[in-house]
């Protein structure tokens, strides 16, 4: 599990390593080195302090090596304006084009990934915003799992207009890209979405159809969960009755509504139509916590399919 990157600005944060001051910290399995140039050191130091504080507070294993640097040569982000639907929802998208060997991450990135965060706080005529995540892939590196996308991914966005007029998007995007190292990227998102807009329909529609199945579509018949607390940690046991999905390498992702909770990769077993998983849970502050079972979200995925499951009892 990785922190929400505290790096700001309209470009990827950081600078060239040559001639800079370096800060290093050992995080369990990995060694992270971040170098800062001599210029603007005072401002960057504040960002680095937040960055390392976030990492050191996490109970899960460390992610890949992270270096503050320019990511423009490994990822390009394009805003796709989309179209307005009859109910006032404007469908747009972000397209991520990644260099060979690099990946970016899903809403729950896994222990070796970097979370993607989007904020729309400065927008006008915007009632609600949703991210319509397409089905991700599972990656493994150095014994750790990450969940995300390689090569290219289109991530649809649903903006609901407060009134029948243009939506002015004034937002911010923080995400990471990883290969042997990880680079944090921070971008401002400025866009005008008029009601008569109609662009990129085919590409965005294809991404929307690539979303995971719902529980009824995947023939999920029963979901049961038990949680066993032990001080400031807990163990969750999940049992799902559903036929095996097409594809190989069945995996389970368990998410909590509280972003301060870390849930590890579940240990899985399957017997017929019953999938069982056991995972560890901890609070990043290493304090006791309550788990709202109705807000638990799970995704079962393989190399060819996925199902999104809401709630667990």
The 10s digit of each residue's pLDDT in 165-218 is 999 999 999 999 999 889 999 999 999 999 998 989 999 999 999 999 999 999
Q: How many whole angstroms separate alpha carbon 150 and alpha carbon 244?
A: 25
Secondary structure (DSSP) of 74-94: TEEEEEEEEEE-TTSEEEEEE
Closest listed residue to residue 181, CA positions, set 112, 115, 106: 112
Give 56's pLDDT tier (boundaries 50, 70, 90).
very low
Q: Which residue has the higher pLDDT, 39 or 153?
A: 153
Q: How far is CA 172 from CA 33, 266, 297, in A?
A: 26, 32, 25
DSSP 167-234: EEEEEEEEEEEESSEEEEEEEEEEEEE-TT-B-SHHHHHHHHHTSPEETTTTT--EEEEEEEEETTEE
Rounded CA-CA distance 104/279 in Å is: 24
**Paired strand residues for 5:** none
Residue with the bigger pLDDT between 61 and 247: it is 247
Among the listed residues 85, 68, 298, 60, the one whose alpha carbon sits nearest the alpha carbon of residue 195: 85
Residue 269's nearest CA partner among 277, 261, 259 is 277
Q: In 3-state terms, what secondary structure has residue 21? A: strand
pTM: 0.76
Tell me the domains of the chain and their CATH numbers: 75-211 (2.60.40), 214-310 (2.60.40)
């Amino acid at each position: 599990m990785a922190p929400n990157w505290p790096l700001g600005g309209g470009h990827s944060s950081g600078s060239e390593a040559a001639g800079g001051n370096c800060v290093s910290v050992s995080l369990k399995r990995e060694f992270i080195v971040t170098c800062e140039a001599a210029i603007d050191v005072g401002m960057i130091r504040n960002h680095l302090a937040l960055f390392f504080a976030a990492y050191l507070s996490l109970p899960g294993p460390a992610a890949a090596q992270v270096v503050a640097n320019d990511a423009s040569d490994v990822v390009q982000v394009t805003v796709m304006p989309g179209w307005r639907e009859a109910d006032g929802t404007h469908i747009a998208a972000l397209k991520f084009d990644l260099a060979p060997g690099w990946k970016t991450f899903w809403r729950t990135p896994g222990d070796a990934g970097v979370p993607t965060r989007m904020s729309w706080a400065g927008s006008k005529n915007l009632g609600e915003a949703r991210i319509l995540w397409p089905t991700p892939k599972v990656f493994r590196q150095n014994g750790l799992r990450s969940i995300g996308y390689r090569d290219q991914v289109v991530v649809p966005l649903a903006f609901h207009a407060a009134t029948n007029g243009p939506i002015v998007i004034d937002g911010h995007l923080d995400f990471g890209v990883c290969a042997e190292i990880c680079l944090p990227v921070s971008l401002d998102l400025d866009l005008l979405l008029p009601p008569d807009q109609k662009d990129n329909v085919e590409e965005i529609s294809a991404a929307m159809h690539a979303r995971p199945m719902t529980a009824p579509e995947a023939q999920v018949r029963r979901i049961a969960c038990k949680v066993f607390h032990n001080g400031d940690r807990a163990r969750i046991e999940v049992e799902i009755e559903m036929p095996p999905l097409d594809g190989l390498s069945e995996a389970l992702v368990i998410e909590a509504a509280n972003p301060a909770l870390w849930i590890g990769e579940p240990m899985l077993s399957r017997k017929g139509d019953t999938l069982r998983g056991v995972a560890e849970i901890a609070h990043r502050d290493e304090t006791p916590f309550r788990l709202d079972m109705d807000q638990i979200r799970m995704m079962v995925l393989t190399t060819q399919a996925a199902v999104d499951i809401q709630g667990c009892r």
